[in-house]
Structure 1
Amino acid sequence: MPQTVAQINEKIIAKKAKVLTVNELKALVAAEGVKAAAKQVDVITTGTFEPTESAGAMMNLGHTDPPIKIRACWIDGVPAYAGLGAVDLYLGATQELILDAAVDEEAIDRGGGHVIADLIAGKSLSLRANGQANDCFPRTLLETTINKDSINQFYLYNPRGLYQNFIVGVNGGDRQLYTYLGPLQPRLGNAVYSNPGAVSPLWNDPDLRLIGVGTKVFMGGGIGYISWEGTQHFPLQKRLPNRTPIGPASTLALIGDAKQMSPQWVRGCYFRNYGSALMLGVGIPLPVIDEEVVVMAAVQDQDLIAPVIDFSIPRRVRPTFGSVTYAQLKSGRITIDGQKVRTAPLASIYLSNQVAIMLKAWIEAGKFTLTEPVAMIPADRPFVPQDAREL
């Protein structure tokens, strides 16, 4: 029987809602079918814990005495963008540490993602800022330490914080490559994928029927919201009959209060000879408003595919070795041109499942209610490449 989000929230507040993780829901559908499962569940929880490069933190330091208009800033040696208000900063997860000339660049394994994670963990970090002197803001230098309690606003804003699907990276060349998927060994020595598969949120609502601007989510161990479509949002990607995309497709922008977040779910990471990023736990609850929700969420790893891309060709459109299912990827081996290739995920499949489990516990305890979107995510965005153009 169809129900509304408001009716589901009444059950959550009364601690009577039936909540299943998406893995539990898939098992229930396999055992009893869609109709029986739909009658037994009100909310399905999903989760992912994977790296994201399009992530960062907004901060407001508060005004100094005398005041400063910050035009350049470094937090623990990592530059933060200061082209905003006088003491507003944006620190990108991929921002690189400024190196001393005597330091071996290959020895550096730290960037903006690590600074963000350290602040969330409660650490105090050095801050140095240069100011532009004027009548309102005469100060030109600030050297201090900051932590999450000594600044005003501290929130994550991730322009592309959640992916629906991604690629599998391989290297058909003769030398090792260092990529955003990590090292790819030559002559098809390994294959790396980043999406955790069928537990991940956007596989289970492939057309974003339930998810939109204003949807409340688990973000980094705290509460966040979907703020807009993500950058490189490409809902027009080709799709299978089950509506899941065959390659990179929809993305979402996320926002959440970093002061609520936990270092368990927000971690800096570094890819050798490539750069830094942020590992982030994200979970989305799906309200079971009708049977169609259960049909979509019953999708399994063997029903989902990703393209195998050869990184040895440095072009925007790289050659592929066809597609593989996530079930094949998770088996530890795939076959490419008759060759067995070992696979490894960048995402933590274990922690992705733990996100769904934790979100389930929050909802069952009445601590997390659902929200309806205030606007839907566009379903007609093309993917526009960029080329050099003459004025």
Structure 2
Amino acid sequence: MRTIAEINDKITRKSAVVLTVEELKARVAAVGVTKAAKEVDVITTGTFEPMESSGAIINLGHTDPPIKIRRCWLDGVQAYSGFGAVDLYLGASCSVDSIDGEEVKERGGGHVIEDLIAGKPIHVRAVGQVTDCYPRATFETTITRDTINQFYLFNPRNLYQNFIVGVNGGDRPLFTYLGPLQPRLGNAVYSNPGAISPLLNDPELQLVGIGTRIFLGGGIGYVAWEGTQHFPLQKRLPNRTPIGPSATLALIGDAKQMDARWVRGCYFKSYGPSLMMGVGVPLPVLNESVIEHCAVQDKDLVAPIVDFSIPRRVRPTFGLVSYAQLKSGRIAIENRNVRVAPLASLFLSRKVASELKQWIEAGKFTLTEPVASIPMERSFLPQDRWLDF
């Protein structure tokens, strides 16, 4: 029906028809797949959720005399410095070591990234390896995003295609990457926003590939590679959506263009820091099958209920539950009525899709042809050689 070039021509002429994925689902319900496919050019999806496998590449610029940094802290958070002399990688989930000898638990790399994006000053303390090329031994300064060279996010694993529902069947509270789980099935937490989530609307990644332009943290980003723990061979329903954690993407984007509204440091009690991010993916309507996939509803999507009280890699489950049930606020587990809440912000996920729609309608954001597909045959390799707990 269409090519990306044809859609981009309409975008530049500000004549493209763009709907958020929720608007598209409503349109399909009203007029059907075929008519919707003729009307719509682009569908925007979005999510705003914790993405702890994220971080920032930072180049400080050379000092005089030069320093070869081998240990470095940004506002007390240690950054990796084992490559170029003044190149750093700041992980979102790295904790503050200490401030004046006192451990600071509720701040980490995600908060420093957020502050840098917001233009706030960040204290730098560095220790160097003294060589003939780099004679300086130590360095302290204050930086902002405007006083450093490169500052871009490179996130090894974002945009899980699907995820799990966490519960706790044990007898004590558990503090997890999904937040606190109360004992004896006291609550349940899910992460993925369901039918508005980007990759559940492109289940076989036919529209998203390496080089796809996206909304990343309020700026423009790109799909860089498959994400870590990419597992597209997960079991799937007849609608081709996975029943649990599946495909993931690695993302990259210029943090100097980003907006701190969409990149926020966060902290999980007794677990550690992370990063909440807004990510939006535009889906070009190239044919009717795009509309068919994007018409999927929460009742047609499922996730496994996983018991975190068993401290093993493979935990027992209480079966599958639909996202429609999850979003009702209550699910049934072993004849119990369990309250449930999302970790992702459904409100801000919708706002991401809406803002991306506005960018496209204004002609500020065009689509890209992927330069390569995301592999869909990757298996998941656990470390089972060492069985000692």
TM-score range, shorter-chain basis? over 0.9
1:53 positional shift: 1.1
Distance 1:73 1:345 in 2: 36
Distance 1:102 1:359 in 2: 44
Q: Secondary structure at the match of 2:195?
A: coil
Distance 1:224 1:99 in 2: 33
Partner of 2:23 in structure 1? 24
TM-score (norm 2): 0.98
Q: How does 1:68-87 map to 2 (within 5 A)?
A: 68-87=67-86
Query: Which among 327, 348, 353 is matched to residue 350 of structure 2?
Result: 353
Partner of 2:32 in structure 1? 33
Q: How does 1:1-391 map to 2 (within 5 A)?
A: 2-99=1-98, 103=102, 108-389=105-386
Q: How many matched pairs?
A: 387
Q: Secondary structure at the match of 2:337?
A: strand
Q: Over aligned residues, Cα RMSD in angstroms?
A: 1.1
Structure 1 residues 320 and 101: alpha-carbon distance in aligned structure 2, compared to 1, 3 A threshold? farther
1:101 positional shift: 8.5
Deviations, residues 56-102 of structure 1 (Å, cap 9, x unaligned): 00000000000000000000000000001000000000111103596
Distance 1:137 1:348 in 2: 47
Structure 1 residues 75 and 102: alpha-carbon distance in aligned structure 2, compared to 1, 3 A threshold? closer
1:266 positional shift: 0.2
Distance 1:360 1:271 in 2: 32
Distance 1:338 1:32 in 2: 40
Matching residue's letter, 1:3: R
- What percentage of residue pairs aligned between the two structures are identical? 71
Distance 1:389 1:351 in 2: 42
Q: Secondary structure at the match of 2:309?
A: coil
Distance 1:302 1:101 in 2: 52
Deviations, residues 203-256 of structure 1 (Å, cap 9, x unaligned): 000000010000000000000000000000000000000000000000000000
Structure 1 residues 100 and 59: alpha-carbon distance in aligned structure 2, compared to 1, 3 A threshold? closer
Distance 1:389 1:243 in 2: 35
1:195 positional shift: 0.6
1:161 positional shift: 1.5
Deviations, residues 131-178 of structure 1 (Å, cap 9, x unaligned): 111110000110000110000000000000211000000000000000
Runs of 4+ in 1 over 4 A off after TM superposition: none
Distance 1:372 1:100 in 2: 47
Q: Which runs of 5+ in 2 are unaligned?
A: none
Structure 1 residues 377 and 292: alpha-carbon distance in aligned structure 2, compared to 1, 3 A threshold? same
Structure 1 residues 85 and 368: alpha-carbon distance in aligned structure 2, compared to 1, 3 A threshold? same
Q: Secondary structure at the match of 1:284?
A: strand
Distance 2:96 2:334 in 1: 41
1:31 positional shift: 1.0
Distance 1:234 1:21 in 2: 27
Distance 1:108 1:3 in 2: 52
Deviations, residues 118-143 of structure 1 (Å, cap 9, x unaligned): 10011001000001111100001100
1:323 positional shift: 0.8
Q: Secondary structure at the match of 2:159?
A: strand
Distance 1:369 1:275 in 2: 37
Q: Which runs of 5+ in 1 are unaligned?
A: none
Structure 1 residues 290 and 335: alpha-carbon distance in aligned structure 2, compared to 1, 3 A threshold? same
Deviations, residues 335-387 of structure 1 (Å, cap 9, x unaligned): 00000000011100000000000000000000000001000000000011013
Distance 1:160 1:384 in 2: 16
1:389 positional shift: 4.9
